[in-house]
Amino acid sequence: MRLLSLAAALLLASPLAHAQKPAKAAKPTTTAPAAAKSLLWEISGNQLARPSYVFGTIHLLCADDLKVSEAVQKAIGNSQQVALELDMDSPTMAEEMRGLMMMPAGQTVQNCMSKEEYAAVSDYYTTQLQMPFAQMGTMKPFILATLLFPKMLGCPMGSYEMTLVELAKTKKMEVIGLETVADQMGLFDKIPCEKQARMLSDMVSKRAEAQQEFRELVKLYQAQDLNGLLQVAMDSKFGLKEYEVQLLSDRNKRWIPLMAQHAAAKPTFFAVGAAHLGGPAGVLALLRQQGYQVKPLL
């Protein structure tokens, strides 16, 4: 369930799910522009007694590629709590998700697709993923889509979120969430089943292209290239582009007052999908608009 939740979070942050619309560049308010190639940023000023930090994650990647830098370890050591998109060590998370991953009673994914689309998707899941797709038809299409990510990755999976949870445990630090499972899952309830099913069908029928786009995303992440990540999002051939505001921008805005509250209470290490950081509507720009100083820790 935790891996499914991470994959669902990936779908929210991935260019495979949406694209961020181009916007006029915001006038820089500090000497550390958001364009700097860094995934780790220090948050200070605005009456904070001690700095907090924000780190851009990628929710799924090869375990061998997962690196926790000395700078990240130092930032965690200077913090008193870790804040993720979801409270990943919550004992109730699996049960919460289990109740939200199914379609309304009487509905199935088959009703949301053409016969040809359903046949192609069902065949791929059954023969290639070794999953009984006919028995999974009551799951929401976007949940079914998350099950494609391990195959697309093509290697044993690693997770920054679960790694950060383990680091927090060793330091006896509390882990909190900026939103709930219900918040994240509810976003997709506003998107018609047919739209979700089309994304699922496209990811199966054009899986080579989807895999290439996914690899490009990972490569840009490893280069700590926030601008590049946004460009991939803008050029994405897949997804739910018309819902970008709900899936990305609105969430960023909701997080800012929570981040301010937590940072004021105690030094906090925030970790959210890297796609949330850059751009005029990104977390870094929004923090600056609230009067915080945000600088990269390279």
Q: What was the pLDDT predicted at 53?
A: 98
Residue 227 — pLDDT band, cuts 50, 70, 90? confident
Q: What was the pLDDT predicted at 175?
A: 96
E strand map for 166-221: 174-177
Q: Hey, is 294 helix, strand or coil?
A: strand
pLDDT in tens, 265-276: 999 999 998 888
CB atoms within 10 A of CB 64: 9
User: What mean pLDDT do residues 281-288 have?
Assistant: 95
Residue 52 — pLDDT band, cuts 50, 70, 90? very high
Looking at the DSSP bridge assignments, the partners of residue 81 are: 174, 268
pLDDT in tens, 232-256: 766 666 655 666 777 788 999 999 9
Q: What was the pLDDT predicted at 92?
A: 86
pLDDT in tens, 63-85: 898 989 999 999 999 999 999 99
pLDDT beyond 50 at 31: no
pLDDT in tens, 164-191: 999 999 999 999 999 998 888 888 888 8
Q: Are 16 and 244 in contact (CB under 8 A)?
A: no
pLDDT beyond 50 at 22: no
The model's pTM is 0.87
CB atoms within 10 A of CB 183: 14
pLDDT beyond 60 at 291: yes
The phi-psi region of residue 214 (left if phi > 0; otherwise alpha if psi is between -120 and 50; otherwise beta) is: alpha
Q: What proportion of the chain, given as a percentage, has pLDDT over 90?
A: 50
Out of 104-113, 227-236, 261-270, which region has the weakest mean confidence (pLDDT)?
227-236
Angle between helices 70-77 and 160-170 (to 10 degrees): 50
Higher per-residue confidence, 140 vs 59: 140
Q: What was the pLDDT predicted at 240?
A: 58
Alpha-carbon span 184 to 23, nearest angstrom:
25
Tell me what the pLDDT averaged over the chain comes to: 84
Q: Are 59 and 13 in contact (CB under 8 A)?
A: yes
Q: Are 92 and 1 in contact (CB under 8 A)?
A: no
Higher per-residue confidence, 216 vs 238: 216
Q: What was the pLDDT predicted at 241?
A: 64
Looking at the DSSP bridge assignments, the partners of residue 158 are: 61
Considering only CA atoms, which of 206, 163, 172, 142 is closest in space to residue 60?
Answer: 163
- How crowded is the C-beta side of 26, counted as CA atoms within 13 Å? 17
Higher per-residue confidence, 10 vs 203: 203
DSSP code for 28 = P
Q: Hey, is 175 helix, strand or coil?
A: strand
Q: What was the pLDDT predicted at 199?
A: 87
Angle between helices 207-222 and 193-205 (to 10 degrees): 90
